[in-house]
A and B are shown apart, each in its own frame.
Chain A
Amino acid sequence: MSEYKTINEKKADWEESTLKKVLDRFPEQQEEFVTGSGHPVERLYLPSGISEEEYIEKIGFPGDYPYTRGVQPTMYRGRFWTMRQYAGFGTAEESNQRYKYLLEQGQTGLSIAFDLPTQIGYDSDDSMSEGEVGKVGVAIDSLKDMEILFEGIPLDKVSTSMTINAPAAVLLAMYIAVAEKQGVTRDKLRGTIQNDILKEYIARGTYIFPPAPSMRLINNIFEFCSKEVPKWNTISISGYHIREAGSTAVQEIAFTIADGIEYVRNAIGVGLDVDSFAGRLSFFFNAHNDLLEEVAKYRAARRIWARVMKEKFNAKKEKSMMMRFHTQTGGSTLTAQQPDNNIVRVTIQTLAAVLGGTQSLHTNSRDEALALPSQESVMIALRTQQIAANESGVTSTIDPLAGSYYIEALTDRIASEAWDYIEKIETMGGMVKAIEKGYAQKEIQDSAYRYQRDVEDGSRIVVGVNKFTVEEEPPKGLLKVDPSLRTVQVEKLAMVKGERDNIAVTASLKALKKGAESEDENLMPLILDAVKKYATLGEISGILREVFGEFQESIVL
């Protein structure tokens, strides 16, 4: 008999001899170790014994199917990710100043935050807008505000991401209109609209219309952009908010990909060719503190999406199978207590995103659990990215954690659990059905509830919140939005309404109404026409509300 022993046999020996002795004397800190999302973590991971064939099939090469190692062949050796800080508050004038500052500081793309009335299709003078104008982003009522917002920023030079969903078509139309006034043609425009209504129903809450007309608007945008604005990312399918609502890492990618499947199926359903739009789909994920779980999550997500596009939708173009994504560090991980600690959290999360191969990144500011970020905090957040890119060395090789026994095992496990969810949702008839049943919402809430209970009973430690706490002075220098801003915005709106050609506005809105009523007309050209005549966001959304009705949430608790 030979003395040869397999790794597993050796492991058993080690557990019996070396490990046991130590464990008897010094028990481990916890009986069970779990990831940030609560999944069990083993003491030790071993070589999985993966064959070369399996490697090629599951992991492969960067820029090659299934893109587990990344979507570009050179990744950050070729170019760093786009550093894109989400910003916007108050009036268009103030936000314009902030954007110019960020561009001067070396930021490479713009990311526009809109206030809630804008996101829900209300003008600043609507009674629903009380207290909310300019609070979480910039207030946009008409093309006039959009012109001010991008004043002095050449739209052929920057790429612009807009966090706008239900009224995405209107804001995109305004962007096109501003560009054309600058002399920039549509085909040169680069950027992204979030346009992901499904996650609004699931987690974020800025929906307007019911699912069917919302999906139609999305198809209209896909179709219009594939012909007219070819460099525009027509949707950013977002797991970020699903995670913020309290999901696990697995749920984040599973529900996001299930949303993606629904969008693709819908677009194909109205006759679009999958390869004509799929290359412009982009994704948006969260980065939490469990660095290794997050890295595995991104890798698993790319692998699943590639498989879905190839096998389920028969995509032919490589671009259609590549999951390109933006990342934002996790807002819900930030603490109001000892806010400077948040800089450290954001650093870990930045590493997670970069080691996971993100295409662009927003780093949160330390004071976001307290208020809108101050200029100084935004600078530190941007610098965090720049340090990761230029000093940490993690950008020099591609997917540096690949081959770690733990990372590969975790990637497989997350992929397989996410796949189970996706199949379950498919058997329910897709994500729209799953949302109507409250399935996704309930799953997320249960995770959120579990997490919060763990924090409350101290089994999960949040530094500065339930351990290592100190008495603190209230923080100073927080940014405040001037409450009189609404008055300013309302006056500006009144002026626009007084100066525009109101007959033309009425005509364009009438045409839009007719278009909306006829189910197969593409609404983009009609909306574009209306915004150019200075019809307001509220007026346009109001017309669509009349025709489409409004979504009513179902409370899942």
Chain B
Amino acid sequence: MQEYSVVGKRVPNVDSRVKVTGEATYVDDLVLPGMLVGKVLRSTVAHARIVSIDTSAAEKLPGVKAVVTGKDAPNVKVGWLRGSRDRLPLTRDKVRFIGEAIAAVAAMDEDTAEEALGLIKVQYEELPAVFDPVKAMKDGAPRIQDDAKNNIALERHWNYGDVEKGFRESDYVREDTFYTPSFLCGYMEPNAAVAQWDANGKLTTWVSSQAPFFLRRELSLLYSIPQGKVRVINRFVGGGFGGKCEICDVHVSASLLARKAGRPVKVVYTTEDEFAVQPRRIPSTMTLKTGVKKDGAIVAQTSSIVTDGGPYRSVGGVTIYNHGLANMIPYRIPNFKFDAFRVFTNNQVGMAKRGHGQIQMRYAVESQMDMIAEALGIDPVDIRLKNALKPGEVTVNGLRMRTSGLVEAIEGAARRSGWKQKRGKGRAQGRGIGISCGGFACGPKIASLTDSGAIIKVNEDAGIVVYTGASDIGQGSNTVVTQVVAEVLGIGPEEISVVTGDTDVTPFEPGTYGSRVSWYMCNAAIKAAEDLRRQIVEPVASKLEVKPEEIVLRNGGLYVGERRAMSFAEAVRAVQVSSEKGILIAKGTYYPPDVEWPDPANNYYGNIAGGYSFSAQIAEVEVDRETGQVKLLKVTAGDDIGYPLNEMLAEGQAEGSISMGQGETMYENIIVSNGRVMNPSLVDYKLPTVMDTPEMDVTHVITNEPGGPFGAKEVGEGFIVSIPGAIANAIHDATGVWIKELPITPEKIVKALEAKEKEGKS
């Protein structure tokens, strides 16, 4: 493993000191002079025409300063992508799910705003609603959007090779259907916004966003003002996990209310707001048909999915594309057919959550992989090694694996977990062990502008300021960008400060999603640092009468061979005083050179990312057969994240992923009945606590991805996608039953065991 001086080290998170003292301020901590409190009124019915909204009583309540409805908002539809702008920010004529924003109130204090919401009278004319996506696709089902026949919001179809021929040539073929429900992103900081308009008509909004530049674009489109008239400023972001990418009614109501009241307005979501509108994991029904040879080699697979997107397109085709992407990595499938539908229903809107669209499919694929292994009498580790993508392979849909450490990851995890000694031997004691694998694209290309930029400014005393548009949502992007810039300039990380999250200040960055930040943003920052190095080294080299390439920056100095010619600060000073280029400003932009948009006209073929991460997870569980209670004892994992830019932060991503994946597999579920969320509290929803934390053992396979910054790949998302499969397969090893829908609750296990027992007796 290559050693660097700053990269790869356990550098503490650069924001951690202000976070442990409580100094770090989030949106709700911001107070502006004259600021009002805003609250949002939400629909209580799932599908209805709005006959009338009477706000007169609310407006008359003392302390109320503004009431807005859809009619106060521009008649402009918003959405993440050009093809998915189908949603009025405050609905006007119709409501399409329970919790949809109808109106908002700004008042002197929270109690008054709450009281005013209760005084708004909404008269509905209820319409037939549909909550099951399969029923929604049938002829005669209630129509939710005028432009979508049979409620099909979006569909994707790929066909590679010849699956029918593949099935005929297979020794064993099986078909299974799996279901995953809706999960909450569950970030700890409620979504919030403060908005203020100035006398020049400029909107400034303080937010908690994974994608401030997307938000600026949406607000600019909504209000028909140039992007220069919208300034989006991120505070510290208290987690995101995909749920803070999109424009929400929190942003729209704060800005509409602030405009109408002529004063700054703060809107902070309550837990009920979050359960109503927080972008959630999309529920998915997946039917997989897979054909294999006797040795377990996959010959063909068809993957058919129906997802429940709620009544809007949201992130559009990305979620369903990602399901297919998850079929393609990390196993070799020579013949593949994919049919995917995003369907409109009157449930809440589905969007992105960590492992977007992929964790669902990995759970299905990995469960079925073990069913196949069992039927053929192959060890689950061996069947995975047989099918694992190797370096240099190109998948049938065009994904190019320049590096892959998957085989080593599987072998290492199997060895360290004691797989051979444990597998298939613990059922009498209720013990089980299971394996699952995954892979993940590092920053897939999903929109036209996905470049990142970075600017470096040098202070008069040679201190470095890096400007990037990336949102540090806790994962530590501010820390890793500090490390890569320090490494290039040969200085300590303490010499560097990072400025992010202000659309008026930093260069463009699409946002913190799709596991793109380390790859794109660090590559842009490296280029900027190299630009700065050149600006410093070239004039100094001529002074020293050496060639620029003879100068090496390390240990805070400029070296010619072993001789320290001068300190970094002296070099900067020399350039600043002597050259007409003394104001040192450097820039870098990055776009991966060999990435393609998966063109619909070409069967969605294309290499969508510069690199792909891999992981293999082995879970060990203990199951109480009487109660169905599962305890996750240990997760042993190997991952290929290329090269860890910061070992401590990389571990943190893996550990957080295990916990979040454990929640989705064992406890969590947004229970929706006739469009109503039945468990809208953190206790009833059941987020994992410290009591649930298993033992964890994560080891990296170092592959030094050529296109990655210092060889790094993504680290934030890929790790989670294989957790549910590993736990599900361990539960099977412990009990002999398969649970084909998440979460795998004690009730489902007990029922399955009872059914199995009956089957055995009959």
Answer yes or no: do A and B interact: no
Interface residues of B (CB under 8 A from A): none
